[in-house]
Amino acid sequence: MQHDPMLVEAARQGDLVAVERLLTLCRPDLRRIAQSQCAAGVDADDAVQESLLLIYKRIGALRTIASFPGWIFSIVRRECYRLLRMVRGQAPLPDSDHPVFTYNDHTDLQYDLAAAIQSLPDKYREAIILRDFEEFSISEIADQLLLTREAVKSRIHRGRQMVQEYLKD
């Protein structure tokens, strides 16, 4: 997945012709990534279309040209995950085999904790699950969610506070 650095830089600087050309060249790579990252029930073509739109909107925020391949990979993977969540719908509680249920022997506490986590807004829930259950590092979460390390730390902190408040009631 090698892209012309001059084309990426021109797109990053706002050249609409370069953006259009870059998106056209990226499409096969995005399709290949989506086919490998999207779970059953999620249409890879939908993930590609949504990813193309996000790349178009956010290309100016790309920090370094060298990070472009990893950046688009993260976008597609995140879109696949988002679409999977939409397909499954937001259940009041996660499945019983979800990682949140494996960390405590007290069933009532597990359900209360799972309900607390499910009650969080998506942006906090995602950060909490990646950090506390999937054990991702702050940097890995930042890369996956396309955020700064500080933003990830803030989401984790605020999410944990909301979980505490939920459990107090």
- Residues 2-11 have pLDDT tens digits of 678 899 999 9
Q: Say which DSSP state 40 is in.
A: T
Work out the percent of the chain whose per-residue pLDDT is above 70. 81
Question: Which two structure tokens, joined as six digits, stand for 169?
Answer: 């009631």
Predicted confidence (pLDDT) at residue 96 exceeds the cutoff of 60: no
- DSSP track, 85-121: HHHH---SS--TTSGGGGS-S-HHHHHHHHHHHHTS-
Phi/psi region, residue 66 (left: phi>0; alpha: psi -120 to 50; beta: rest), is alpha
Question: Which two structure tokens, joined as six digits, stand for 24?
Answer: 């056209």
Which range among 5-9, 95-99, 141-145 shows the weakest confidence by mean pLDDT?
95-99
Please list, in sequence order, all residues whose beta carbon lies within 8 angstroms of the beta carbon of residue 90, skipping any fewer than 6 positions away.
118
Angle at 140 between CA 4 and CA 98, to 5 degrees: 125
Q: How confident is the model at residue 95 (pLDDT cuts 50, 70, 90)?
A: low
Please list, in sequence order, all residues whose beta carbon lies within 8 angstroms of the beta carbon of residue 161, skipping any fewer than 6 positions away.
none
Residue range 54-94, pLDDT digits in tens: 899 889 888 788 888 888 888 888 888 777 777 665 444 45
Question: What integer pLDDT is reported at residue 88 of this predicted model?
Answer: 61
Question: Which two structure tokens, joined as six digits, stand for 150?
Answer: 């500080």
Residue range 103-130, pLDDT digits in tens: 444 556 677 788 888 888 889 999 998 8
CA 67/CA 55 separation, integer angstroms: 13
Question: What integer pLDDT is reported at residue 97 of this predicted model?
Answer: 57
Residue where the block lists tokens 């953006």: 19
Domains, the chain, ranges and CATH?
5-88 (1.10.1740.10), 99-168 (1.10.10.10)
Predicted confidence (pLDDT) at residue 33 exceeds the cutoff of 90: no
